[in-house]
Amino acid sequence: MDPFEVRMQFLTLLKRLDASQQSIKKIVGFAVKYFQSCGEDLWDCIVEECQKGSLNNRINLLYLLDTLCEVCLASKPPPGAGQPSSSYVDYVSRDLRNIVDYVVPEGRQGLPNLMSTRQILESWRSKRMVDPQKVDEVIASLDERRAAASASAARAASPDSSVGALSRDDIKRRMEEDRERHKRLRERRWVQPVGQNSSAPMAPLASFMPLTDEDDGVRELALDIEFDNEWETTSDWNEDDDEAVAEENGLCFAGVDEHGDDEQAMDLS
């Protein structure tokens, strides 16, 4: 097909996009197939649909980009292979802020897509799919936008506040597609990459993007990444932890006191 036919067929596929994996994988396969000849044009089609599509279509496009980036990274040639290393991931990283602004527009109308967008961004950050610092900046802007929308919601509703209201059928469809999207996202949260120092040859994954020094990402293992993710979400030690340790200590040595042994409970201080 010539570039014009590729573009028109891709636009047709995007207009039929829904939350099902079958629909997403069909578009992803098409986009990857024609990336070398029409990658920039196909990316422009995605951006255009993000601008003019409905809120439901825009969040579907964001989940499409999530799968597209994973497929591109899995098929990315290793460094030094002599093949072009650019992919749709580079476009996502370059236009990340614009894409998020389209998916989550300003004001209360963007609130339905805000939480799902945040979940996708946090997934990209934990997997090092996009520069974590850039993702943090976008998430911070979303938090500010949510605070502003909440403040406006506290004020009296304007007479035209129902202009962008969804119909009953649209609400039902959104609930069904949200259920499908969140199910898929929960499944993929547990997937951890395989280390690059494995004996089996494999393409570098997004999770090996370094967070600090340049050499850290080369030797970073899946276990290290999982530990970092858990460490970042763990709270500081507090009085509740002291009480929990004391309770566990009492349960552990409860039988010792009953038999009259002189052993003391372990000192964990």
Give Cα 226 distance to the centre of its chain: 15
pLDDT score at 170: 74
Residue 199 identity (one-letter amino acid): S
pLDDT score at 80: 53
| 78-101 tens-digit pLDDT | 555 545 556 899 999 999 999 999
Q: Residue 262 pLDDT > 60, yes or no?
A: no
pLDDT score at 1: 79
| 221-253 tens-digit pLDDT | 555 666 776 776 777 788 888 888 888 888 887
- Helix, strand, coil proportions of the chain in percent (round to 5)? 65, 0, 35
Give the length of the chain: 269
Q: Residue 189 pLDDT > 90, yes or no?
A: no
Q: Residue 162 pLDDT > 70, yes or no?
A: no
pLDDT score at 188: 62
Q: Residue 182 pLDDT > 60, yes or no?
A: yes
User: pLDDT: is 120 or 147 the higher one?
Assistant: 120
pLDDT score at 83: 52
| 56-68 tens-digit pLDDT | 899 999 999 999 9
pLDDT score at 64: 93
Average pLDDT (103-118) is 87
Which among 97, 89, 101 has a CA at the least distance from the CA of 133? Answer: 97
- For residues 189 and 66, the answer to whether their CB atoms sit within 8 Å is no
pLDDT score at 44: 94
User: pLDDT: is 173 or 41 the higher one?
Assistant: 41
pTM > 0.85: no
Q: Residue 204 pLDDT > 60, yes or no?
A: no
Taking CB atoms within 8 Å and a gap of at least 24, the contacts of 176-185 are: 176/19, 177/18, 177/19, 177/56, 177/60, 178/19, 178/116, 180/19, 180/20, 181/19, 181/59, 181/60, 181/63, 181/116, 182/116, 182/119, 184/21, 184/63, 185/119, 185/120, 185/123
pLDDT score at 252: 82
